[in-house]
Structures are given as C-alpha cells and as structure tokens.
C-alpha cells in the first residue's frame, strides 16, 4: 500500500522525539568518563623509586627525571613532565612498577602561560625532606648493623647488604647518562 | 474575562477616538492602521519564535538539546541571530537587476501579512470580516510565486534561476490540488467567509467530514510553503539555496523569515478550514477562543516540523507526478463524492 513506509518513518521519528536526549551538558555537568581515561598526569613522589623506566618508555621524551645519590640510595630531585609533547599514550603508566606516574580524569589542561605547560612535579622541600629521611634511615640501619656485628652471627647479615650497595652504585651511573641525552 | 480581551481593547480604542469628536471615517482609518501594526507585530513575534522552535524541535528529533547557551533555555538565541543578520553587509552582484533584486525581499512579507487580515484568530477577531475571505486567501497566496521568481531571475545566477523556475513550477502545480480540495469545503459550508466556515464547524470539524480534502490540502500547503519534503526551491544539496543564493545580510534574513511566515499562514489556514478555527474542542471553553486557536496552529506547525525531520526531499519529477497524477484526480473525485453526498443527504 502506498504511504505505509511514510507512516512507519513518522512513527520512528516520533519515537526519537520522545526519547531522552543524549547530549552531555559538559561545562555545567562533567561528563561520565571511563576508568581507563588518560587525562592529567599524576605523580606520587613517595612511590617513585627512580628506576627510569617511564623515561625510556616515553616515545616523545616527555619525562625528564633527575636523581641524586644520597648515601647509598637514589633520591629524585626533579620529575618534569613536558605536557606539550605528551600524546597521552599511557606507556609511562604501563611501565611504572610502583604506580608513581599515572593518568587522572581531568582533561581541562589548557594554561594561560606557556611556561606552565611543563609540569614540575617535585618541589625542593620534598627533595630536602626525602634526603633527611634517607639519611635518617641509613643512620638507623648502621646502628642496627653495629649492634648486630657485636653478636656472633654478624657476618651472615653483613654480606647481602654490601652486595646491595654495590648494585645501587652501578644503577646510579646509568640513569645519569639518559638524563643527559634527553 | 480573557475571552473578549482583544475585542474589548479594540472597542475601547474606537470609543475613545469617537469621544474626541473625530469623524467616523477617520476613526475607521485609524483602527485599520492599529490592526495593521498588530498583525505586523504578531507576524514578527511568531516568526522569531518559529526560528527558535524549529531549532529546538529538530534537536529533539535528533536527541540533542538545541540552543541553550544564550539566555534561559537559549531564548536569547533569537535576538543574537537577528542582530547578526542585521549587522551583516548586503552584497549586490554586479550584473543583477538592482531594482528587482532589492524589491524581492521587501515584497516577500506582503502576502503573509495580507492573508492575516482576513483570518479570524478568535471569536470576532478577524481584522476584516471579508465575504470572499477564502477566495482572497487563495489569490494572495499565489502572489508569493512571483516574488520568489523575482529574486531568482534578478540575481543573475544559474542556481538562483533554477531555484526560481522550480518555485514557479512547484507552486503553480500545487495551487491546483489546493484549490480543488477547498471546493469540497465550500460545497459543504456554502460560504467563502472564513468566519462563516469556522461557524459551520461548531458541531463537527471539517477534518472529519472532509478527511480526503484535508489530506490533499495539507500536502499541497506544505508544498506551497516550500517546507521539506517539498523544499526543492531551496534544495541546499542541489542548488545551494535556490533563489536566495546571492542574498546576504538582511535580504537573506527576510526570505529566511518569510519561509516561517508562510509556514505560519499554512498552519493558520489549516486550523481555520479543517480544525475548527477558534472553536474549543469538546466544549472546553475554559480557555479563551484565541488561545485555542494558537494551540491548534502550533500543533499543526509541530506536525509540519515532524514531517520535515522525517522525510527526505522529493525528486523534481516525483514532485510533479504527485501533484498531477495523484492529488488532482483525488481532489476531483472528492468534489464529486461531496457533491453527491450533499445532493442526496444534505
């Protein structure tokens, strides 16, 4: 019959008319983002072990990591995230073993000043605090070791510690090179 | 109290003028000027509202929100649009016929205004109670074709010319089923006065006694108003904007707004002729008659928008086939059946 299709079309469009609209009122209401969304980078200073994996994983060399060896441990002195080159691939997030660098859900990343595009995550106070903590910890460890040395089984505990110190020295040399490259 | 608010206002003004010892002739002329201004304001307000309504309704059909940034519910969008169009330069092409080119956007608003003079918008609310109201409506509505043709021809642009020719072909073709559909109404009501036609629908609306005529009239009127799916005159994907291609600024705005004025006229005439005009349905007289009229008109407009956002544009030959091979024979059959029914029953 003529016109049957027309009526069907009208029925369909009326169905759409009565449906709830799909628009997200973005500036008024924040959109519902998926869990795996790559928004602003978030860096947790205390979790970072200065392993340098994120720096090597980044295809655009966005991340710049600087370290300083305090006692036997490495301390992160700078973690710069150059946002203008970031393509939000999430490789750094994947590479990180401690979850120190990850992406949040904030996507409003525009800045009024060009200098603010580069995010400097680490503040001097944080570095100073961390250094103090490391020194304190080593001091305590040394005291413990001295106490332990008085006991007869001292030799057994001393050996692995010495090995770990040697390894740490070897690692400290490698990241410094990569920093110079980037 | 609200029922007679406009009639009372008119009477008060008339008495006021008579009380300051003006001659009846001067009073009459003054009243006509006032009515003209009221119609002008009515058309402008409705057309501006329709631009907004079309955007909102089309958005709803596509599960969007539509304009909602400017003002409450995006209502200030109308003012923004108008301000933008007024502030733009109106460019006249080098080889255009300047007089015709500039005259067309001015004249395009004349037919809708003239038609509104005879339409009863409430009980006793026709600006002019014309005996030949329906005849007058048909005659004036046909003039629209000439104005669009003027625009298309004077632009000296191939798209404009094609659009103008399409307008003439389409509007002249659809004028015939439109007229023939209305003959059924005239046979039944026995009058050409629009007030009389509305009065004749007091018991039953003409859409129920003349459903076929309504069907033909509605299709033909949509084509007359250049509404989608009959918007071949504009046909953006084929001929850019048809006769309006070369127009810019306020010239374009006039055509753009006149489209909506034509839609308004189409809805008003459909309401008056088939949906009982200002008569309240089921005797629900708790709303004043002019409000019922507006509600009906906007329902018809909504249906027209519903059709627009559902159907794709017709092809030119299909358009002509629909008019000449389908609507015209159907309309003639309708007249025949109506005449027989009137002869044997009425």
Q: Which residues pair with A80 in a beta bridge?
A: A64, A120
Q: Report the residue of A4, A17, A18, A26 to disrupt the B interface, i.e. the one with the largest count of B CBs within 10 Å.
A: A17
CA geometry: angle A113, A118, A121, nearest 5 deg: 120
Q: What is the least distance, in Å, from the CA of B76 to any CA of chain A?
A: 18
**What are the structure tokens assigned to B309, written together?**
């956002």
Q: What is the least distance, in Å, from the CA of A38 to any CA of chain B?
A: 27
DSSP tag of A85: G
Q: Give residue-wise pLDDT tens across range A113-166.
A: 888 888 888 888 888 888 888 888 888 888 888 888 887 655 555 555 555 666
Q: Which residues pair with A63 in a beta bridge?
A: A81
**Long-range residue pairs from B197-205, CB within 8 A, at least 24 positions apart, any chain:** B197/B133, B197/B134, B197/B272, B197/B273, B197/B277, B198/B120, B198/B272, B198/B276, B198/B277, B198/B278, B198/B279, B201/B276, B201/B277, B201/B279, B202/B276, B202/B279, B205/B274, B205/B275, B205/B276, B205/B279
Neighbours of A35 (CB within 10 A): 5
> What does the alpha-carbon distance between residue A177 and residue A169 come to, in Å, rounded to a whole number?
14
Q: What chain B residue is nearest to A8 in terms of C-alpha separation?
A: B310
B1 to chain A, any CB pair closer than 8 A? The answer is: no
Give the three-class secondary structure for A33.
coil
Which residues of chain B neighbour A23 with C-beta distances below 8 Å? Answer: 63-65
CA Rg, chain B, in Å? 21
In terms of Cβ atoms closer than 10 Å to its own Cβ (0-12, 13-18, 19+), residue B111 is: buried
> What does the alpha-carbon distance between residue B121 and residue B126 come to, in Å, rounded to a whole number?
6
Q: What chain A residue is nearest to B56 in terms of C-alpha separation?
A: A17
Name residues 26-85 of chain B within 8 A of A (Cβ): 57, 59-65
How far, rounded to the nearest angstrom, does the alpha carbon of residue B68 sit from its chain's CA centroid?
A: 28
pTM: 0.76
Neighbours of B76 (CB within 10 A): 15
Of B64, B65, B310, which is closest to A13 when you measure between CB atoms? B310
> What does the alpha-carbon distance between residue B324 and residue B321 come to, in Å, rounded to a whole number?
5
Q: What is the least distance, in Å, from the CA of A111 to any CA of chain B?
A: 24
Q: Is there a cis peptide before residue B279, judged by omega within 30 degrees of 0?
A: no
Q: What is the least distance, in Å, from the CA of B327 to any CA of chain A?
A: 13
Closest CA to B225 of B324, B307, B125, B119: B307
Closest CA to B335 of B196, B181, B198: B181
Q: What chain B residue is nearest to A25 in terms of C-alpha separation?
A: B65
Size of interface A-B (CB pairs under 8 A): 32
Which residues of chain A neighbour B59 with C-beta distances below 8 Å? Answer: 21
Closest CA to B157 of B254, B233, B247: B247
Q: In chain A, where does DSSP find H-type helix?
A: 4-18, 53-57, 91-95, 124-150, 154-181
- Specify whether the CB–CB gap between A65 and A75 falls below 8 A: no
DSSP tag of B5: H
Residue written as token pair 């008659």: B289
- Specify whether the CB–CB gap between A76 and A50 falls below 8 A: yes
Which residues of chain B neighbour A19 with C-beta distances below 8 Å? Answer: 63
pLDDT digit string (tens) for chain B, length 346 residues: 576 777 778 888 888 887 887 788 888 888 888 888 888 888 888 888 898 899 889 888 888 888 888 878 888 888 888 888 888 888 888 888 888 888 888 888 888 888 888 888 877 777 778 888 888 888 888 888 888 888 888 888 888 888 888 888 888 888 899 889 888 888 888 888 888 888 888 888 888 888 888 989 999 988 888 887 888 877 777 787 788 888 888 888 888 888 888 889 889 989 988 888 788 787 777 778 788 888 999 999 999 999 888 888 888 888 888 888 888 999 999 999 988 888 888 6
Q: What chain B residue is nearest to A9 in terms of C-alpha separation?
A: B310
């Amino acid at each position: 019959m003529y016109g049957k299709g027309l009526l069907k079309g009208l029925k369909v469009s009326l169905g759409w008319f009565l449906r709830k609209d799909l628009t997200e009122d973005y500036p008024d209401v924040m959109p519902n983002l998926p869990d795996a969304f790559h928004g602003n980078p978030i860096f947790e200073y205390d979790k970072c072990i200065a392993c340098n994996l994120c720096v090597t994983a980044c295809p655009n060399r966005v991340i710049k990591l600087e370290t300083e060896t305090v006692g036997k441990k490495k301390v992160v002195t700078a973690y710069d995230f150059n946002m203008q080159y970031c393509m939000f691939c999430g490789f750094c997030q994947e590479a990180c073993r401690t979850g120190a660098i990850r992406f949040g859900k904030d996507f409003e990343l525009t800045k009024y000043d060009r200098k603010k595009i580069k995010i400097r995550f680490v503040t001097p106070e944080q570095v100073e605090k961390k250094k103090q903590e490391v020194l304190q910890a080593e001091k305590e460890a040394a005291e413990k070791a001295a106490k332990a040395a008085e006991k007869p089984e001292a030799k057994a505990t001393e050996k692995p510690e010495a090995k770990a110190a040697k390894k740490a020295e070897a690692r400290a040399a490698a990241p410094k090179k990569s920093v110079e490259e980037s | 109290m609200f029922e007679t608010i406009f009639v009372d206002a008119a009477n008060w003004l008339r008495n006021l003028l008579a009380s300051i010892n003006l001659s009846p002739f001067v009073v009459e002329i003054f009243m006509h000027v006032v009515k003209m201004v009221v119609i002008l304001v009515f058309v402008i307000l409705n057309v501006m509202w329709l631009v907004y309504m079309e955007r909102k309704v089309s958005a709803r059909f596509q599960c969007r929100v539509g304009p909602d940034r400017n003002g409450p519910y995006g209502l200030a969008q109308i003012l923004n649009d108008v301000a933008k169009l007024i502030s733009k330069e109106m460019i006249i092409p080098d080889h255009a016929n300047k007089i015709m080119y500039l005259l067309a956007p001015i004249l395009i608003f004349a037919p809708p205004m003239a038609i509104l003079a005879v339409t009863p918008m409430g009980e006793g609310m026709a600006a002019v109670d014309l005996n030949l109201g329906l005849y007058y409506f048909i005659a004036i509505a046909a003039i629209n074709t000439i104005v669009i043709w003027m625009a298309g021809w004077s632009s000296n642009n191939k798209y404009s010319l094609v659009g103008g020719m399409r307008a003439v072909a389409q509007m002249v073709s659809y004028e015939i089923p439109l007229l023939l559909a209305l003959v059924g109404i005239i046979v039944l009501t026995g009058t050409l006065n629009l007030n009389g036609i509305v009065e004749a629908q007091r018991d039953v609306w003409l859409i129920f006694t003349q459903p076929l005529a309504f069907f033909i009239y509605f299709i033909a009127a949509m084509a007359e108003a250049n509404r989608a799916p009959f918007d071949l005159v504009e046909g953006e994907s084929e001929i850019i904007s048809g006769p309006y291609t070369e127009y810019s600024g306020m010239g374009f705005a006039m055509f753009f707004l006149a489209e909506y004025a034509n839609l308004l006229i189409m809805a008003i005439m459909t309401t008056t002729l088939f949906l009982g005009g200002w008569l309240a349905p089921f005797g629900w007289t708790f709303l004043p008659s002019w409000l019922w009229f507006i509600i009906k008109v906007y329902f018809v407009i909504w249906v027209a928008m519903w059709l627009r956002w559902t159907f794709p544009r017709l092809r030119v030959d299909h358009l002509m086939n629909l008019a000449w091979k389908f609507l015209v024979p159907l309309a003639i059959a309708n007249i025949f059946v109506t005449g027989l029914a009137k002869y044997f029953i009425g």
